[in-house]
A = this chain, B = another copy of it.
Amino acid sequence: MATPTPTRQRRRGHDPESVLSIAVGVFNERGYDGTSMEDLARALGVTKSAIYYHVPGKEQLLARALDRALDGLSEMVADQRAASGPAIERLEWVVRQSVRILVDRLPYVTLLLRVRGNSHTEQAALERRREFDAFISRLVKEAAAEGSIRPDVDPALVTRLLFGTVNSIADWYQPSRGASSDDVADALLKMAFNGLRV
């Protein structure tokens, strides 16, 4: 045969992808700064030095993880559905998509939400995140200007409360509990848009 079956059973081991996904899990359990390469090695079932065969170092792991979260948000901002139609409907769509991204990429987004800017990598991620926050802020302001949001609350405050609620999902959401992204988004939108009171 000319082509050797490419997916032949190779010697089992890690690759950059499996290292990243396990590492992000540990980062979220113990915090990035609270995680040592020794911790990662233990979680991977190898020695510290083996990690460096797959990835360049600890900070690169963080950078790749943060990009996964930020790329999701960037795609959403670029979507046509975030650009046309009544602002209140676009806002609803953006909230729903944000919840979906948060749930789909839970460990990566969770990590992003905890970044404080201690390194260049973290500062760059915060910068990209700020662009997203500015986008949201404009959207809420438009919805308020169109008269779709109660006028007795400052739109800046609404933005922070609304997306504070979305982001807080990362602190408690567990896929194993059965609630889907849409279940959570439905509940959130009911509460924030129509209120909890009967």
- Interface of A toward B, CB cutoff 8 Å: 29-31, 33-34, 88, 114, 116, 118, 147-154, 157-158, 160-162, 164-165, 167-169, 171-172, 179, 183-184, 187-188, 190-198
Contacts and interface: CB of A to CB of B under 8 A. Distances in A.
Nearest to A35: B33
Contacts of A158: 187, 191, 196
Contact of A193 (B114, B153, B195): B195
Given A160-B172, A161-B165, A192 B190 contact: no
B196 A116 contact: no
Contact of A168 (B165, B192, B193): B165
Contacts of A162: 191, 196
